[in-house]
C-alpha cells in the first residue's frame, strides 16, 4: 500500500520518500517473517505425524 501511495504522490522530497519506503520495507519484512513461521509449523506437523525426527542420509525409506 505504501509503494502505491509513493507512486501516486510522486514526491520530490527525500524525507517523505524515505518514510514511505521504510513503511513499505516494514510490510515486506512482516510478510517474510510470516512465511518462515508457516514453514516451521509445517515441519513441526510433519514431525508429529511421523515417529522419526530425522531420516538418515542415503536411505529413501525409514525402517
Would you say residue 38 lies in a domain?
A: yes
Q: Which residue has the cell 542420509?
A: 57
Query: Would you say 2 and 20 are in contact if contact means Cβ atoms under 8 Å apart?
Result: yes
Q: What is the pLDDT of residues 11-61, one digit of tens each?
A: 889 999 899 999 999 989 999 999 988 887 777 776 777 766 666 556 666
Domain count of the chain? 1
Would you say residue 41 lies in a domain?
A: yes
Q: Which domain holds residue 34?
A: 2-7+17-45
Would you say residue 58 lies in a domain?
A: no
Q: What is the dihedral of CA 45, 46, 47, 51, to 10 degrees?
A: 120
Cell reading at 30? 512482516
Would you say residue 53 lies in a domain?
A: no
Would you say residue 50 lies in a domain?
A: no
pLDDT, position 52:
62
d(Cα 25, Cα 51) in Å, to the nearest integer? 40
Q: What is the dihedral of CA 56, 58, 61, 63, to 10 degrees?
A: -50
Would you say residue 31 lies in a domain?
A: yes
Amino acid at each position: 500500500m505504501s509503494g502505491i501511495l509513493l507512486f501516486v504522490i510522486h514526491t520530490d522530497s527525500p524525507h517523505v520518500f524515505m518514510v514511505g519506503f521504510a513503511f513499505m520495507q516494514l510490510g515486506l519484512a512482516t510478510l517474510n517473517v510470516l512465511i518462515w513461521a508457516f514453514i516451521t509449523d509445517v515441519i513441526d506437523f510433519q514431525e508429529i505425524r511421523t515417529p522419526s525426527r530425522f531420516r538418515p542420509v542415503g536411505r529413501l525409506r525409514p525402517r
